[in-house]
Amino acid sequence: MLLQRKPYQEGVDKMGRYSVLWSLTKHKMMMECETKYVLNYYFAKRGEYETKPPLLQLAWRLKNMTNVYLLIGNQIHQEIESEIRTLFETGEFLNASKIKKALYKNIEGIYKKAERGFERWYKDPTANSMLFEIYYDSSRLKEEVKQFIRRKVDTCVDGFINSFTLNEKIYSGKLKIMESEKYRSFMLDGIKVNLSADLIYFDTDCNEWGIVDWKSGKESAFDPIQLSIYGMYAESTYGANINDLIVTNEYLEDGKNKSYKVDSSGFKEVKTLIKQSADRIMKLEENISVSEEDVMDAFPKAQNQKVCERCNFKAICLENYRDKHINHFLEGVGKNGRNKEVEMVEIELMRELVSNGMPVDHEVEVFLEESPYETEESHTYKVERFSEYLSRF
């Protein structure tokens, strides 16, 4: 089925032109692999519906799969946000061991749910979580991974408790917290720039605007870009003077604090990057009218194979994974009986036999030329027919 290309997503600029939605997360994924980008932002969403091909249904689940690093990072961010809110409400100093215990409990609850098996996640991925390490490596989280989680939680919470921002800024009682919600956006020449900053404050003591990001991971070359984007947001939303603006990364694991003054030349470079990146996004959007069954071949793939090792979508993108994972998904949702299972290699064998003159019904010849994953029904039907034929040889 050919899909109609929708004009660019929600949001229009002042002239009524459609805007493109841009974020640093999108940009990073696009730089890593354009196939991964289009699967994640366009095609996977279509797999929410049972009428869609199994490849897309599995893509939807893979998009929503987390991993140990993201899980720890998200939980730490949520806990810090909640602790800071409580601190402002009650004035009580924070307690490291209480925060650690809450994090162990929450993280353990999530990975234990994932360990209950794939079937629940296959059937309802929004209610049941899955971790990359469980899906691809083993059905239970390895002991060393559990120990890694505890160590990381411990060092990050200690990093937060000892951080400059908490001790010198938040405890000072001079901060006015500007917003509690996390997801924000601003317009830049018709591009809607989305961001997610952890803390935006105004320090009444020194008339300073501050934006803070708590980092549970290592330093990255993208960090200064991210901070400039936060600075642009504070300027465009609050009218913050660039000279009164300070942006900070708190590296919780390393216990390091890096603060920067933003400047207009830095803004200029980042604006150029955003515009170039948004242009590329628009070009990719022009190609999303490819049929769903052609998506895996329509976009450039990662140059660096190492990226594939940690990619959620390798189950459907890498040929040596695809059939096993799609068959397993279909079994998990009760659409593919084990006794009717046929591997892609058998379909390939069938194709070879037919091309070497093996007589089969014309209908089967046609099926062999088509993608078996065109629709769920056609996949199931083909699997059954091929199994019947193969059992005679």
Q: Phi and psi (nearest 5°) for 261?
A: -90, 130
Residues with Cβ within 8 Å of residue 163, at least 6 apart in sequence: 250, 252, 255, 257
Tell me the closest approach of the beta carbon of residue 31 to ligand SF4, in angstroms: 11
The nearer residue to ligand SF4, 199 or 311, going by C-beta atoms, is: 311
Strands of the 208-215 sheet, one edge to the other? 175-177, 199-203, 208-215, 245-251, 256-261
Q: 244, 254, 248: which is closest to 204 by C-alpha? A: 244
Per CB under 6 A, the list member of 24, 33, 153, 270 interacting with ligand SF4 is: 33
Rounded Cα distance between 391 and 393, Å, is: 6
Q: Phi and psi (nearest 5°) for 182?
A: -90, -35
End-to-end CA separation in angstroms for the chain: 35
Rounded Cα distance between 343 and 331, Å, is: 13
Is residue 360 within a helix (H) or strand (E), and if so which, with residue range?
Answer: none
Please tell me whether residue 63 binds ligand SF4 under the rule CB under 6 A.
no
Please tell me whether residue 307 binds ligand SF4 under the rule CB under 6 A.
yes
Residues with Cβ within 8 Å of residue 378, at least 6 apart in sequence: 367, 370, 372
The nearer residue to ligand SF4, 19 or 35, going by C-beta atoms, is: 35
The nearer residue to ligand SF4, 320 or 339, going by C-beta atoms, is: 320
Q: Judged by CB under 6 A, which stretch of 32-40, 138-146, 213-221, 362-370 contacts ligand SF4?
A: 32-40
Tell me the closest approach of the beta carbon of residue 309 to ligand SF4, in angstroms: 8
Instruction: Count the residues of the shown chain that bind ligand SF4, applying the rule CB under 6 A.
Output: 12
Rounded Cα distance between 296 and 315, Å, is: 12
Q: Judged by CB under 6 A, which stretch of 51-59, 224-232, 309-317, 369-377 contacts ligand SF4?
A: 309-317
Please tell me whether residue 379 binds ligand SF4 under the rule CB under 6 A.
no
Please tell me whether residue 178 binds ligand SF4 under the rule CB under 6 A.
no
Q: Judged by CB under 6 A, which stretch of 13-21, 47-55, 300-308, 355-363 contacts ligand SF4?
A: 300-308
Per CB under 6 A, the list member of 114, 134, 317, 350 interacting with ligand SF4 is: 317
Which amino acid, one-letter code, is at 85?
R
Please tell me whether residue 29 binds ligand SF4 under the rule CB under 6 A.
no
Rounded Cα distance between 296 and 392, Å, is: 33
Q: Which runs of consecutive H residues, i.e. helices, occur in 127-263?
A: 132, 143-161, 164, 223-238
What residues from 241 to 260 belong to the interface with ligand SF4 (CB under 6 A)? none
Q: Judged by CB under 6 A, which stretch of 6-14, 58-66, 299-307, 328-336 contacts ligand SF4?
A: 299-307
Please tell me whether residue 302 binds ligand SF4 under the rule CB under 6 A.
yes
The nearer residue to ligand SF4, 66 or 75, going by C-beta atoms, is: 66
Please tell me whether residue 21 binds ligand SF4 under the rule CB under 6 A.
no
Contact 44/62 with Cβ under 8 angstroms? yes
Tell me the closest approach of the beta carbon of residue 67 to ligand SF4, in angstroms: 13
User: How many secondary structure helices (H) and strands (E) does the chain include?
Assistant: 19, 8
Tell me the closest approach of the beta carbon of residue 23 to ligand SF4, in angstroms: 19
Per CB under 6 A, the list member of 26, 314, 325, 385 interacting with ligand SF4 is: 314
- Binding footprint of ligand SF4 on the chain (CB under 6 A): 33, 35-36, 301-302, 307-308, 311, 313-314, 317-318
